[in-house]
Structure 1
Amino acid sequence: MEIIDDSRLVDAYILGNEAALAELIDRHKNKVYGFIFSKVLDKDIAEDIFQDTFVKVILTLKEGKYNEEGKFLPWVMRIAHNLSIDYFRSRRRMPVIGETFMDEEFSIFDFLADPEDCSETKIIKEQIDKELRQIIDYLPEDQQEVLRLRIFKGLSFKEIAEETDVSINTALGRMRYALINLRKVIEDKNLSLTMV
């Protein structure tokens, strides 16, 4: 049986063949997941980053912004690498005091309170959260569901698929359309997620 190369599968997916994406994911999932896991060393976090990687892949392909000239896997690995770095940046990092402490770089900001603890920040986040929930109401029911499960409940796409009794590809697709439609609603209604 002929093995179709990645670039032909990418082209097929862009033209609407969903099975081509499933083949690409299946072909590279172990390498991509293994790479992410080697960085974060946590199964659940690795699964979330893996799924976010392929959400970004899908969005980029569907928006026609992919131009890696047949280098699909290195491109996906670069996305996975960047999302792994984003994960570490988003966490509060405290230096470990040990024998090498004096030799390592550290920032005074590592010792300050998390800005999320600030009451003003909490109020702003609550306001944005409230506005976002109202905007989501404009979306179709299946898109509302996937957004609420992902954003407000923090479920992985695997968990969303199980909760809604659909495939992971369907859950990813609904999220993609939900984000596209959310952007349209915000633009059409001239809304902004800011404190009034």
Structure 2
Amino acid sequence: MQLSNEKSQANGHVYVISAPSGGGKTTLVEALMAQDSNVTRAVTHTTRGAREGEENGVDYHFVTKDQFREMIQNEDFLEHAEVFDNLYGTSLAEVRKHTATGKDVVLVIDWQGAASVKAMMPEAQLIFVIPPSIAELEARLSARKQDDPEIVKKRMADAMNQIRHYEKFDYVIINDDFKSALQDLSQIFKVNRLRTHYQKSKNQPLLDDLLGEKI
């Protein structure tokens, strides 16, 4: 899979946001997109069944395991992983579709997927969201009432494993007060848009004019 020219062809940044289940990453991303029209989400492919209220192509691309495996063979995925007996993956086409328009694209995936994306796209920014305490995390998972106690127990064990990898990320946000966490997340996106390579790509005509160069 050739990604060497990915950065030069697109203006948008790629962000990976990870958190243990119940960490609040999905709610934060939805709120960020609601207030920042330049941010969009890469919709993940998954083999798990849709939960109540979820819509195909909006929350996830719901596919069969055979379809998912065919996509793996075709090298369609930027990253993919198996979580709780279900397959999840982010297609490269989904990411390029957004970055080519200049939008910042968010991938909501786990730490393993984040590592894969960073290896293939070093310029990608990795953000890890953590709860204020294990007790609060357990309370959030239990309050969902979508999973039985055994599933909650598994998710708690997975949360501990996820948190152990926080140092692999570029940023860490503590999601205690939601408004503060959202402000922290928003500032990361705004600051990165001031980076030289981004400004050069977005404002090349202005820079050329200031330098007296012909456009």
Q: Tell me whether the two structures share a fold, i.e. TM-score over 0.5.
A: no
TM interval, short-chain normalised: under 0.3
Query: More strand per residue: 1 or 2?
Result: 2
